[in-house]
Amino acid sequence: MFQTIALCFLAGLMGTNALPHLIKGLVGEEFPTVLGNSPVRNALAGLTGILLTALFVLWADMPSHPWTAAISISIGAYVMATFHGLRGAFWLNSAAGRSNPATPASASQGAQGG
């Protein structure tokens, strides 16, 4: 059962983390990643995250412990959603000394001269 808990938690974490990277990459916008902020790197990171999520789900033996799996996936997803909701990716980039991409709000403020 520990395997189900750990792998389902990682699946929730990775699956939720993959979404903003994949979406930003597919629409051609920058978003902070460990490998750089470019849209191509984000798209590739998002696809890799989805692949890892599928592998974690495959290895998790979910049919043997369905409720444990559902709860673990949910907790992992909530943790990552909170991280991104609190702009954790931008904070992590700043803490590591890397530049952050311009956000739409800061880009529009710069265009308005404020």
pLDDT digits (tens, 9 = 90+) for 25-46: 999 999 999 888 999 999 999 9
Question: Residue 83's domain spans which residues?
Answer: 2-112
Task: Say how many C-beta atoms besides its own lie within 10 A of residue 85's C-beta.
Answer: 9
Q: Cα–Cα distance between 81 and 45 in angstroms, integer? A: 17
Q: Is the pLDDT of residue 8 over 70?
A: yes
User: What pTM does this model have?
Assistant: 0.84
Say how many domains are in the chain. 1
Q: Is the pLDDT of residue 114 over 50?
A: no
Contact call for residues 61 and 4 (beta carbons, < 8 A):
yes
